[in-house]
Copies of this chain bind each other. A is one copy, B any other.
């Protein structure tokens, strides 16, 4: 078993933090996206979307999509339960993870891809006007997240879940995307300091 990734890209970090929280070790193989190693025919056979990371199982099965890889390890080793527990708990983790993915993370990535010069060759065509819409929507979408985090230790309750991991990776990716974190988000700031201090954040 191994994971093909690029260490600097944000989605592979979601999987690394998840594995660190689970205490699971998996070998990693690096590929270089700037050299377009993810756009070869061989790689597209593994993942038609030409993205990292991909989990390769020993029988050759390839699992792409970060959350699918995380879910595989949740099934293998259920504790700690990073996708929630019980019907309502699991639905709430799914809900928060998706709210953060759609409202925050997708817009941060959209801003980066459509406004950053480093992405000009990889994201073709860039649509800067869309990147600017993404920039303002990402900041706006942090507000209800912040309100939740004023009353709740983690985003989906009293335990860290995959939704916190998505949020941490998203917030940290605001720096390369050059999106300012809005001032006055005291719930988010408190949460960010705590989650960033966990050993898994360095994964």
Contacts and interface: CB of A to CB of B under 8 A. Distances in A.
- Tell me if A's interface is mostly helix, strand, loop or mixed: helix
Contacts of A147: 48
Copies of this protein in the complex: 2
Interface in A44-102: 48-49, 55, 57, 61, 63-65, 67-69, 71-72, 75-76, 86-88, 90-92, 94-95, 98-99, 102
Contacts of A87: 72, 75-76
Interface residues of A, number: 35
A133 B127 contact: yes
Nearest to A86: B75
Contacts of A67: 94, 98
The residue among A55, A63, A88, A91 with the most chain B CB atoms within 10 A of its own CB is A91
A86 B133 CA distance: 40
A118 interface: no
A63 B75 contact: no
B64 A90 contact: no
A146 to B, nearest CB: 11
Interface of A: 48-49, 55, 57, 61, 63-65, 67-69, 71-72, 75-76, 86-88, 90-92, 94-95, 98-99, 102-103, 125, 127, 129-130, 133, 141, 144, 147
